[in-house]
Amino acid sequence: MNQNDIIRRKGIHLILIMVLVSMAVGGVSIAFLYRTTMDGQTARLVETALSRARMIEAVARFDKKYNDRPVTGGAYTATLGQIREAHKNFRGFGKTGEFTLAKRDGDQIVFLLSHRHRKVTSPAPVSFSSDLAEPMRAALEGRSGTMVGLDYRGEKVLAAFEPVKELDLGIVAKIDLIEVQTPFITAALSALAISVLFIVAGGLLFKRTGRPIIKHLEKSEAKYSEIVETAQEGVWIISSSGQTSFTNQRMAEILGYLPDEMLDRSVLDFMDESAQAEAIIKLNRRREGISEIHEFCFRHKDGRDVWTSIAANPLYDENGNFSGSLGMISDITERKQAEQQLIAAKQEAERANRAKSDFLSRMSHELRTPLNAILGFSQLMRLDEQRMDEEQQEAVEHIFEAGEHLLYLINEILDIARIDAEKMALSIEDVPLETVFNSTLMLVRNLALAKGVTIRELPVEIPWVHADIKRLKQIMVNLLSNAIKYNSKGGKVTITFPSALEGRVRINITDTGIGIKPGDQAAVFDPFYRVALKGETVEGTGIGLSVVKKLVETMDGHIGVKSEYGQGSTFWIELPQAQPIAMKLAEEDIAALSVAAIDIGRSTQRILYVEDNPANLDLMRLIFKKLPNYELLSAPNAEQGLDIAREQHPDLILMDLDLPGMDGFEALEKLHTNCETADIPVIAVSAHAMPEHIAKGTKAGFIDYVTKPIQVDQLITTMKRAF
């Protein structure tokens, strides 16, 4: 083997070593950049999906609470309309990046937005059980996260998915995986081709020393640099001392600089002093080896704030020592501004609503003062009608009716104001609808007789609901009155309870009247809207249904109308279902009462029961009828209960805790602070049966605690302990 062969072999070995080193460096660099880019892309997709999901939920809640526009489909449709309108201006990101919104319809995934891959319409629905639309299927199952899977086209994508719980929708932000991988595949193939070329032509190029190797290394470096410079996120590398050692073009653009202007400058130079302390904490976390995704506000070259999302990772040298930090950075300023505008709009709406409520309250006071005189003197004049002729009596009657109408209008408007301001005090309990309808049908009976309208008998089985009984009666009187007033002569009103979703009760009130035109049905719940009745004047203010709608929704219910013009209307409400409370005594209760009757002493004990639910009060009266030497007093609210306690000084008070207005706890405190009633023992009665509720009652000063539904033996034992 001559010297040339030795030199040639050494040269080949050197070339092979350089090729292997070049491939290793290229592979590691590509892998590192690929992982970093994937992490950054994933973070951006997560940020996109999460931010849009939360923004859509905020808009949905806002529309549900404040949107009074007559939009067909309600707040849901209004919200979806805003999303679609905003989506028209969204151009996607990259070549294939987009976000999708969909709902589940049976076994189908239905897409709601036009996509950049479908210019005219949304994609066709996808079966929920198919292999397509994997990320959207996960979002509609209520999960959130990221994955690599098939989208609705069957393309493999990198995706972040998030449920939109407020609307039962799913949102996915995705980009084709091939778009992310292509630059790295190209770079890897280029590096491989270069390496093969080195091996084949290495011997021939050996005499030219290292020029070809250097040239290829320069090409490889340019390729890696191109990948970084064309990345959609900003890339910012900071040394261990906090100095900028590298930024790509996108990072410099985000802050308004040229890349060279940022080199060797401290990262603290690109933020306000108020943010520097937080930045130092974040840099120390990189020093501790902690990677994280967080939001941070930098200062643009022109002085404005730039909000960013940062995927930050620590960097280490070949010896494993900390050498700095790498940040993949996305500009989220527009999203932050949109969030701030939404918050400001919400605050302004709340401020305007409070101002409206305050104004209505003051106007009510100012109107009631002269109205008191008008109604008072008109009533006095009616009592002295023998001194007036027929014309004067008719005038006084007009004055009184107009005053009554104005008073009713003031009260209705105040109800709306209280609900809007969330100041409406409700006492939510288990309520039998039979009791509600027995009461309300008595109130509208004369109106039905005058109109010649027949109200059909109620079904045999009538459910219970979870509601405020006083407000529920107000709702039913309004709906029944409307069904009578807008009915035809000799018409009918039918009350039914059709099947509803599990845990809900639907109440239908159907009339055979004039009906409502399709174009007017969306407006019937608007304040001051009234259905015109040809050739007949119908009394009313036009705000009753508006109050009804707000009351129903405040009690976690829904209301709607179905009508066929000229045939009649059905107004329906849905409320949470409640389990019936036994309205007659069981055999074991009768036995317990018999034993108690034997044990009762001869002295009569007076018991005051403060309870606003008529069904519960009726049950208690039935129990006490079986107990000799007991006298039961009752009050429907705490205020009346306090008056009875002071005037009659009962031997024991049974106090319901969930009362309208003043609750049981406040009533107990007033009893204890009044020397006339401080010595009266008080037992709490409540449907809240958790240990923490009982402990709260005992701590407040109740001598005992009885839970609903009432067990007769427990009640008797508890009363014995009190005496």
> How does pLDDT run across 615-659, given as a tens digit for each residue?
778 778 877 887 777 889 999 999 999 999 999 999 999 999 988
Here the tokens at position 148 are: 């690599």
Q: What is the pLDDT of residues 619-629, one digit of tens each?
A: 788 778 877 77
- Contact at 8 Å (CB) between 563 and 515? yes
Q: What is the pLDDT of residues 445-484, one digit of tens each?
A: 888 888 899 998 788 788 999 998 888 988 898 899 889 9
pLDDT, residue 217, reads: 60
Strand partners, 327: 236, 312
pLDDT surpassing 60 at residue 596: no
Q: What is the pLDDT of residues 201-245, one digit of tens each?
A: 655 655 565 555 556 666 766 666 666 666 678 889 999 999 999
Q: What is the pTM of this model?
A: 0.40
442 or 224: whose pLDDT is higher? 442
Tell me how crowded residue 443 is: count the other CB atoms within 10 A of its CB: 13
Q: What is the pLDDT of residues 1-58, one digit of tens each?
A: 444 445 456 666 766 776 677 667 667 767 777 787 788 888 888 888 888 888 888 8
> 3-state DSSP call for residue 616?
helix
Confidence class of residue 598 from pLDDT cuts 50, 70 and 90? very low
Distance from C-alpha of 478 to C-alpha of 474, rounded to nearest angstrom: 6
pLDDT surpassing 70 at residue 416: no
Distance from C-alpha of 527 to C-alpha of 413, rounded to nearest angstrom: 9
Tell me how crowded residue 94 is: count the other CB atoms within 10 A of its CB: 12
pLDDT, residue 600, reads: 44
- Of these ranges, 112-126, 243-257, 344-358, the one predicted with the greatest mean pLDDT is 243-257
pLDDT, residue 682, reads: 94
CB neighbours of 516 closer than 8 A, spacing ≥ 6? 524, 531, 561, 563, 565, 569
The helix or strand, by DSSP H or E, that contains position 163, with its residue range, turns out to be strand 156-164
pLDDT surpassing 50 at residue 601: no
pLDDT, residue 1, reads: 47
Its sign, for the CA torsion 685, 687, 688, 689, is: positive
689 or 101: whose pLDDT is higher? 101
Q: What is the DSSP string of 297-333?
A: EEE-TTS-EEEEEEEEEEEE-TTS-EEEEEEEEEE-H
- Contact at 8 Å (CB) between 660 and 468? yes
pLDDT, residue 508, reads: 94
What mean pLDDT is predicted for residues 547-551?
87
Distance from C-alpha of 52 to C-alpha of 335, rounded to nearest angstrom: 9
Q: What is the pLDDT of residues 242-257, one digit of tens each?
A: 999 998 888 899 999 9
Distance from C-alpha of 467 to C-alpha of 429, rounded to nearest angstrom: 6
Where would I find the beta strands (DSSP E) of 557-674? 558-564, 568-578, 605-610, 630-635, 652-656
Its sign, for the CA torsion 489, 495, 500, 504, is: positive
The helix or strand, by DSSP H or E, that contains position 398, with its residue range, turns out to be helix 390-420
pLDDT surpassing 60 at residue 613: yes
Tell me how crowded residue 675 is: count the other CB atoms within 10 A of its CB: 7
Helix 544-554 × helix 390-420 angle, to 10° = 30
Distance from C-alpha of 685 to C-alpha of 714, rounded to nearest angstrom: 12
pLDDT, residue 120, reads: 47
308 or 417: whose pLDDT is higher? 308
Mean pLDDT of the chain: 80
> Residues in the chain, how many?
723
Place of tokens 């995706």: 159
